[in-house]
Amino acid sequence: MEQIYFDNAATTQLREEVIDAMMHVVKNNYGNASSSHSFGRSSKALIEKSRKHIAKHLNVSASEIVFTSGGTEADNLVLRSAVRDLKVQRVITSKIEHHAVLHTIEQLKLEHDIEVDFVCLDANGNVDYDHLETLLNKEKKSLVTLMHVNNEIGNILNIKRVADLCKEKGALFHSDAVQSVGHYALDLNEIQVDFLAASAHKFHGPKGVGFAFIRKNSGLKPLIIGGEQERGLRAGTESIHNIVALEQAFHFSNLNIETETAYIKELKTYFINEVTKHIAGIKFNGNSADLEKSTYTLVNVCIPVEANKSAMLLFQLDLKGIACSKGSACQSGSNAGSHVLAEILNEDDLEKPSIRFSFSIYNTKEEVDYVVDVLKELVGA
């Protein structure tokens, strides 16, 4: 049986170069980076070298990169400290953010009684920038948090436009960029975002490591207390092999960004064309079929089958060896539907199965052909 992995928005396969770098550190650089002896200094040097390389790619200062366990921790660090320590009174967000943001905001509202405003979205889930500007005219200390690339439908935020608007209105701006870092070249000197979250396993690095970009002199304070690691912003003994692997994954993603983007974009285009040709009535959710307005890495399709077939479709695809997702992987195993699709689909389409297929450099057109054939069989096209 074929085994096809089309769930790269959930997590990605590690590059061989990343595995090699990671294992070299595991074997040879086991000193605690906080120790003053040569073993510790060697580990510390690797961390700081990785930090500098990541900062160089983003065109920021090395001191503005804080290593975390991933995107969720980075989001929590920024949002919780902004309310607790920077005295943010109001958070502006959208209803289709990742739950790492939405659930954190819900908790902050309970704990600190902050005001929460949701920016309007159009029928495809795009942010209404005029409404955002209207919201920013209120005289309260505000933080805007909007993701750069939506993890379910792939919509791309005009991150520079939002950053400029927040700067003009005196608001702070945080972006969950977990689905874009490593896939898009970001110049954070040009894009004046205050805070940003990233996670290595979305761009062929390991799970359990990511970083927060925190612009200098932000005033943020640590979420995790205990030691002075990460310049006092994130306590805990550093996972040196993961940090080096993160840097290597980021390095190779940026090194090959043009050729790999072109390859994956061609694969996505081929998928769109083939599935449209062979399955009548298929719909694409959000902007996911628009190569200019959505990320090149994923599509989200609404499959035209009856409700009684809907519940088993993902299971049947899995039996055929196809790994994909009904939405965010964080929701897998949950009976709750996608909160993203609930905002943009009508009731009829919500009754049908919507599936996210996400691609990487390790996928092929032959795999697309197999998936389309299986979908045809299951749908009865």
What tokens were used for 145?
């948090």
Strand-strand pairing, 210-214 and 65-68? antiparallel
Q: Using CA atoms, how far apart are residues 267 and 273, in angstroms rounded to an integer? A: 10
Contact 360, 313 (CB under 8 A): no
CB within 8 Å of 333: residues ≥ 6 apart:
none
Contact 253, 180 (CB under 8 A): no
Query: Is 120 one of the annotated active-site residues of the chain?
Result: no
- The conformational region for residue 225 under phi > 0 = left, psi -120 to 50 = alpha, else beta, is beta
Catalytic residue among 166, 302, 324, 330: 330
Q: Any idea what DSSP says for residue 10?
A: T
CB within 8 Å of 198: residues ≥ 6 apart:
71, 74, 177, 178, 181, 182, 210, 211, 212, 213
Angle of CA points 93, 97, 100, to nearest 5°: 105
- Where in the sequence numbering do the catalytic residues fall? 330
